[in-house]
Amino acid sequence: MSKLVTIYGGSGFVGRYIARRMAKAGWRVRVAVRNPNEAIFVRPYGVVGQVEPILCNIRHDDSVRTAMQGADAVVNCVGILVEQGRNRFDAVQAEGAARVARLAAEEGIERMVQISAIGADAESDSAYAASKGEGEKAVRKYMPNAVILRPSIVFGPEDDFFNRFAGMARNSPILPVVGQHTRFQPVYVDDVAQAAVLAVTGKAEGGIYELGGPEVDTFRGLMERMFGVIHRRRLIFNMPTFIARIMAWGFDTLQSLSFGLFVNRMLTRDQVRNLSKDNIVSEGAKTLADLGIKPVSMASVLPDYLWRFRPSGQYDAIKESARNLRNG
């Protein structure tokens, strides 16, 4: 019988790419998610019955244990960018990761992959980064040979970075950013998935790997690259930090006063803290190169999914060619 991997959060942005690669490698894949009915799209990644979404709440021991029973390996992709209801950073990214690792050790599972983030630090003043750091500590405690992957910003067709800002640029002549000089090292989502698969299949040594793409650029530089892809000119407004903090405080307060009816997906105080720190691979860290992976560039991928934000969408290139013919 083929081996089984349980992927917590396997229908999310990164998780679905890992699930697809694991299925292609011949593994049975159990996709553990809160809403299995919304994860039906993962089934065609393999043959009938090979990839199955199942119900799991990472905040409950019994639910997490049931999802991993009989598995040969586990991957934890669960993470949040905004706190909502009971899904707090500590509960999901620290306690959730600890729960998966502890129960995997109890079940005798040998391999675990934890998807973390560059900047993870239990001592950070950012609740997001601190919870990621606490999660890593717990994983190393219970699963000493685990592979921890720390990607920078992850880009790809379903990303919430370039898609989000391209959507804003389509509807506004001004694009406000916080921390225009902060540096990032975007990494392609399938490169992260490939790293996870190498870890699951025992082809990567345990430890922490920081994953970044071949290019380092500032927040402003990334937005200018994006404008070039979507063929739009926009004014980039670097929002002063004190104004960003005031706005973020207002949005956070509104979420609290509305008892969660309004979810602050605009800008949080915690995000303002993170946007003041570079998000690039550390000197001396193990990287994609140590895994034998050559990272994919942004230029080779962004046009494939950002074309829909161009003034004429899929017909923009055709119209440009027609203009060149007339001018010629």
Give residue 59's pLDDT band: very low, low, confident or very high (50, 70, 90).
very high
Question: Can you give the residue range of the structural domain that contains 284?
Answer: 4-155+185-212+279-291
pLDDT value of position 314: 74
* Residue 233 belongs to some domain of the structure: no
Domain of 50: which CATH number?
A: 3.40.50.720
**Average confidence (pLDDT) over 204-229:** 98
Three-class SS string for 196-244?
HHHHHCCCCCCEEEEECCCCCEEHHHHHHHHHHHHCCCCEEEECCHHHH
**307 belongs to a structural domain:** no
Q: What is the pLDDT of residues 273-299, one digit of tens each?
A: 999 999 999 999 999 999 999 999 999
User: pLDDT tens for residues 169-205?
Assistant: 999 999 999 999 999 999 999 999 999 999 999 999 9
* Range list of H helices, the chain: 13-24, 61-68, 89, 95-106, 127-142, 162-171, 189-200, 219-230, 241-257, 269-274, 302-306, 316-327
Average pLDDT on 112-127 reads 98
Q: What pLDDT was estimated at residue 187?
A: 98
Tell me if 21 is assigned to some domain: yes
Residue 326 has pLDDT above 70, yes or no: no
Please indicate, yes or no, if residue 305 is contained in any of the structural domains.
Answer: no
**Residue indicated by tokens 């060149």:** 324
Per-residue DSSP letter, 281 = P
Q: Which of 115, 34, 102, 109 has its CA nearest to residue 76? A: 115
251-273 confidence digits (pLDDT tens): 999 999 998 889 999 999 999 99
Within a domain: residue 258?
Answer: no
Residue 42 lies in a domain: yes
Please indicate, yes or no, if residue 301 is contained in any of the structural domains. no
**pLDDT score at 262:** 93
In a domain, 225, yes or no: no
At residue 259, the pLDDT reads 87
- The structural domain count of the chain equals 1
